[in-house]
Chain A
């Protein structure tokens, strides 16, 4: 007697759970029961689980009967002619969807040749264990799963040719690769996904070699001449958007060059790039602090306008200005209106990004790295045929990560470029290593891909042969130009008077709680105090009330108690402004924070 649960609710018992399960499955294959219904029997717990709910992940498999696939050559023929469709095959019970629970009862063969009498299902393609992007990793079945995941993740961040109409688009924060190429070593997914129409990398020559210690810790050394020829070059596009927003009371923003009477007017110099309409000229070179679109907004609070409307212009200047560290060339200006009919101005900035030290590159196998050196071509090692690699990749990245597919791609890329053909590297169906090696030998190279190389400085031959080949390399969107930052002195926050945080605000690097603990651990008490002096203030505190007073300008800046008519002794106390703020917040809570003063000495 097995318990039966439908969608995890107890419904009753059955005498013959296996027969029950099989009859349900048979009914489903005949189309009498919905295809998404799954059933599983668990012998140890003696229970049958029937699932009909939504939100489970289910996947299609070919049904196997008596050790033979129900999908025959005849079906394939019909499929290619278009006489048979996917849903027809489900209706005929050739393909069915299993969920995680029903898979527990199934024995799924990976290849058709593996089929035995015990098998219940067959994978449609072994590629099913990978996702779409993971299938783009060539020779993926040779490498550990973790690396494939990383390889797939890296490809999503690659700089490429994302859309052909990029000149007409206003995308936020995009990069465009200048000379994109289609990979020589490719999988079936490159064809299925039309990868040739939006490639995102370049085929480069790579040597697995140490170079003066510059490529330690995953750093890569790049041939400067390759960069000068355009390798990895890209353009960064970013729009600046301004809108004439309508406020309550019929007030509206105004795009144009602000009048000198406007509150917050910058210097004339700052508006120099703007045309008469307040919008920047295309092809203007702009930098930090330059106004891109001039804008004037109505005052923030309406009441203030009534009193002074005649005296001064109460409108605010609210132009769009380039922030700290931003620069570029105005590429394109668009004037439109948005859904509400408000005037909308968009200016697109463009900036050429030539690979520099600190930019991130990767192969498709999770072997990412950062440029550590751009070597003049004269100093790049060369092979006996005079080939100089574009990239020098550190051999230490290979053993611990076991990215065999990376090595195979270098080998395959070499054969492909010498042979002038694409190499099929679809996981599980790739050209074999043996074939690639044999072909390389026929082409007059050493079959393991290694070549004799020469020291460019002394002209001496290297003692070891170096592994050289061709591989598809991707430039990733993380570039130092967007991240480099430093600060000595700079802006502070209004509320806490502590330094600002973050690159855009020219902020400092926070000495956090754990960093503070290291100072405490060393007993460096006064050093710690100095580090936290950034928001130091000296305040007068009343000896009697224990409250912070103020300096009265009318009484020659004498310290005065904040308690009315209290004539108490005031003492100057040095505290952090953040603590002063805390005391004020206590008062807001209805608490009386009384400071009891005592001489420090």
Chain B
């Protein structure tokens, strides 16, 4: 580049991304004076678009997210792709993310595959390996034999074959996970008897419901598996999330596989990744509703949620708990708790934020209320 020197000059004034953008658009043979003029203009625009000192960015972000939020429909489910896989979106999902809720209403994983598989090879096997198989999936029928107080589980041969499980494995799994009962293979079915004495009807019914959910095979937590084609590659969508176990599988491309569980990402990839996921998930919800919120507002929220090194929800157990002002905490839910503990500890409130000053009828320290005098007046005697 010809004008390297001039660009260098501006490096301290304008962020690098803007300089490289200017480089891309400016014609090769631009004169030095013209380039300077361009860069000055860019600098002016850049400075103009910065938030002014005292600008109340938090309130503006809150209003900018809250106002379109009122237009969100309560039409919460939308179908990922073709099949019946439900994804929670809209307002409930937004609240779920912002609250920092640990159990999600619908966990979704998007698994990208390595080369031969992504082209469509052995997809059946991939699906069979991924999906969590419980005993209920492998059984045709459960008969309750009240006379001998036992259950008879009739195994489904086709299902066994499909998921590559043999009946002996099923027996092993059952013996390991259910202790109080004996399991015996009788031809094509499994007989279940109480280990000691006779089981009554209620016990048998409870056992029957329990047995249906016993884990046998596949990745734990992956409830539903769906293969979809996205831009000439096969991608597996899963209901349920288990990042750790999925990553271990050799056909999974670990660089692109995603989950929508923020806490799982935080656990395995750290807080910065969690912050990025919060931004993405929130933007996806907002875009999905056809609303328009600037990403910077979302970023501020995500930063706030992650600034302590762990993901905190925007509620009294999360970021509000971390506020330094007692009055501010007390004004937001459970006031007595905060006031009494502040009294016990002899805490003091510096009255440095908005809510406290509204309570005291003092100018709030934002906007026009922020600047003060540099020269201190002498104290009257």
Which chain B residues lie closer than 8 Å to A13 at the CB level? 144
B360 touches A576 (CB 8 A): yes
How far is A176 from B25 in the complex, measured between Cα atoms in Å?
A: 77
B342 — nearest CB in chain A belongs to which residue? A591
Q: B362's contact among A3, A517, A529, A589, by CB below 8 Å, is which? A: A529
How far is A3 from B201 in the complex, measured between Cα atoms in Å?
A: 12
Shortest distance between the CB of B331 and any CB in chain A (Å) = 10
**Within 8 Å of chain A (Cβ to Cβ): is B18?**
no
**Within 8 Å of chain A (Cβ to Cβ): is B143?**
yes
B360 touches A523 (CB 8 A): no
Within 8 A of A (CB), among B335-365: 336, 339-340, 342-343, 348, 354, 358-365
How far is A345 from B342 in the complex, measured between Cα atoms in Å?
A: 55
B343 touches A517 (CB 8 A): no
A586 — nearest CB in chain B belongs to which residue? B339
How far is A523 from B366 in the complex, measured between Cα atoms in Å?
A: 6
A599 touches B358 (CB 8 A): no
B201 touches A12 (CB 8 A): yes
Within 8 A of B (CB), among A347-387: none
B368 touches A524 (CB 8 A): yes
Given contacts A521-B59, A521-B60, A526-B368, contact A575 B343 (CB under 8 A): no
Contact bitstring B221-264, A, C-beta under 8 A = 1, else 0 = 00000000000000000000000000000000000000000000
Q: A529's contact among B141, B363, B366, by CB below 8 Å, is which? A: B363
Within 8 A of B (CB), among A498-549: 516-518, 520-526, 528-529, 532-533, 535-536
Which chain A residues lie closer than 8 Å to B373 at the CB level? 601
How far is A590 from B55 in the complex, measured between Cα atoms in Å?
A: 39
Shortest distance between the CB of B84 and any CB in chain A (Å) = 14
A524 touches B367 (CB 8 A): yes
B359 touches A582 (CB 8 A): yes
Which chain A residues lie closer than 8 Å to B339 at the CB level? 586, 589, 591
B54 touches A536 (CB 8 A): no
**Within 8 Å of chain B (Cβ to Cβ): is A574?**
yes
Which chain A residues lie closer than 8 Å to B80 at the CB level? none
Interface size class of B (residues with CB under 8 A): 35 or more
Which chain B residues lie closer than 8 Å to A522 at the CB level? 56, 367
Within 8 A of B (CB), among A572-601: 574-576, 578-579, 582, 586, 589-592, 596, 599, 601
Given contacts A12-B201, A529-B361, A601-B373, contact A521 B63 (CB under 8 A): yes
A599 touches B56 (CB 8 A): no
**Within 8 Å of chain B (Cβ to Cβ): is A551?**
no
Which chain B residues lie closer than 8 Å to A528 at the CB level? 358, 363-364
How far is A241 from B360 in the complex, measured between Cα atoms in Å?
A: 44
Which chain A residues lie closer than 8 Å to B82 at the CB level? none
A-B residue pair count with CB separations less than 8 angstroms: 93
**Within 8 Å of chain B (Cβ to Cβ): is A10?**
yes
**Within 8 Å of chain A (Cβ to Cβ): is B379?**
yes
**Within 8 Å of chain B (Cβ to Cβ): is A1?**
yes
A1 touches B63 (CB 8 A): no
Within 8 A of A (CB), among B43-67: 54-56, 59-60, 62-63
B343 touches A592 (CB 8 A): yes
B368 touches A575 (CB 8 A): no
Which chain A residues lie closer than 8 Å to B376 at the CB level? 599, 601
**Within 8 Å of chain A (Cβ to Cβ): is B1?**
no
Which chain A residues lie closer than 8 Å to B143 at the CB level? 1
Q: A525's contact among B55, B59, B342, B368, by CB below 8 Å, is which? A: B368
B368 — nearest CB in chain A belongs to which residue? A525
Within 8 A of B (CB), among A1-16: 1, 3, 10, 12-13
How far is A310 from B143 in the complex, measured between Cα atoms in Å?
A: 94
How far is A532 from B362 in the complex, measured between Cα atoms in Å?
A: 9
B365 — nearest CB in chain A belongs to which residue? A525
Which chain A residues lie closer than 8 Å to B368 at the CB level? 523-526
B348 touches A523 (CB 8 A): no
Q: A601's contact among B205, B342, B377, by CB below 8 Å, is which? A: B377
Shortest distance between the CB of B54 and any CB in chain A (Å) = 6
B348 touches A596 (CB 8 A): yes
Q: A520's contact among B59, B205, B377, B379, by CB below 8 Å, is which? A: B59
Which chain A residues lie closer than 8 Å to B340 at the CB level? 589, 591
Which chain A residues lie closer than 8 Å to B63 at the CB level? 517-518, 521
Q: Which of B63, B366, B370 has the most CB of A within 10 A?
A: B366
Within 8 A of A (CB), among B304-320: none
B346 — nearest CB in chain A belongs to which residue? A592
A534 — nearest CB in chain B belongs to which residue? B361
B60 touches A526 (CB 8 A): no
How far is A529 from B359 in the complex, measured between Cα atoms in Å?
A: 10
How far is A138 from B286 in the complex, measured between Cα atoms in Å?
A: 42
**Within 8 Å of chain A (Cβ to Cβ): is B369?**
yes
Which chain A residues lie closer than 8 Å to B358 at the CB level? 516, 528, 532
Which chain B residues lie closer than 8 Å to A592 at the CB level? 343
Shortest distance between the CB of B222 and any CB in chain A (Å) = 23
A525 touches B359 (CB 8 A): no
B152 — nearest CB in chain A belongs to which residue? A1
**Within 8 Å of chain A (Cβ to Cβ): is B202?**
yes
How far is A38 from B202 in the complex, measured between Cα atoms in Å?
A: 24
How far is A579 from B327 in the complex, measured between Cα atoms in Å?
A: 11
B201 touches A523 (CB 8 A): no
A576 touches B361 (CB 8 A): yes
A578 touches B359 (CB 8 A): yes
A526 touches B54 (CB 8 A): no
A9 — nearest CB in chain B belongs to which residue? B202
Which chain B residues lie closer than 8 Å to A582 at the CB level? 359
How far is A582 from B355 in the complex, measured between Cα atoms in Å?
A: 14
B361 touches A533 (CB 8 A): yes
Shortest distance between the CB of B29 and any CB in chain A (Å) = 46
How far is A535 from B361 in the complex, measured between Cα atoms in Å?
A: 9
A525 touches B348 (CB 8 A): no
A10 touches B202 (CB 8 A): yes
How far is A522 from B368 in the complex, measured between Cα atoms in Å?
A: 9
B359 touches A576 (CB 8 A): yes
Which chain A residues lie closer than 8 Å to B205 at the CB level? 3, 10
Contact bitstring B23-54, A, C-beta under 8 A = 1, else 0 = 00000000000000000000000000000001
Which chain A residues lie closer than 8 Å to B56 at the CB level? 520-523
Within 8 A of B (CB), among A464-498: none
Which chain A residues lie closer than 8 Å to B54 at the CB level? 523
Q: Which of A525, A533, A592 has the most CB of B within 10 A?
A: A525
Which chain B residues lie closer than 8 Å to A3 at the CB level? 205
Which chain B residues lie closer than 8 Å to A590 at the CB level? 343
How far is A201 from B302 in the complex, measured between Cα atoms in Å?
A: 57
B366 touches A520 (CB 8 A): yes
Which chain B residues lie closer than 8 Å to A536 at the CB level? 361
How far is A584 from B144 in the complex, measured between Cα atoms in Å?
A: 70
How far is A575 from B342 in the complex, measured between Cα atoms in Å?
A: 22
B52 — nearest CB in chain A belongs to which residue? A523
Given contacts A10-B202, A517-B63, A520-B354, contact A574 B366 (CB under 8 A): no
B369 touches A525 (CB 8 A): yes
A579 touches B343 (CB 8 A): no
Which chain B residues lie closer than 8 Å to A596 at the CB level? 348
How far is A526 from B365 in the complex, measured between Cα atoms in Å?
A: 10
Shortest distance between the CB of B2 and any CB in chain A (Å) = 44
How far is A526 from B340 in the complex, measured between Cα atoms in Å?
A: 32
When A and B form their complex, which 10 residue pairs have the shortest distance between CB atoms, in order from nearest? A523-B367, A525-B369, A576-B361, A591-B343, A521-B59, A525-B363, A525-B368, A525-B364, A10-B205, A520-B59
Between-chain CB contacts (< 8 Å), 18 pairs: A1-B141, A12-B201, A518-B63, A520-B59, A521-B56, A523-B56, A523-B370, A525-B363, A525-B368, A526-B369, A528-B363, A532-B361, A535-B361, A575-B360, A575-B361, A576-B361, A589-B336, A596-B348
Chain B interface (Cβ within 8 Å of chain A)?
54-56, 59-60, 62-63, 141-144, 146, 201-202, 205, 336, 339-340, 342-343, 348, 354, 358-370, 373, 376-377, 379
Given contacts A10-B201, A524-B368, A525-B366, 20 further A-B contacts (CB under 8 A): A3-B205, A10-B205, A517-B59, A520-B56, A520-B366, A525-B363, A525-B364, A525-B367, A525-B369, A526-B368, A528-B358, A528-B363, A532-B361, A579-B360, A589-B336, A589-B340, A591-B340, A599-B376, A599-B377, A599-B379
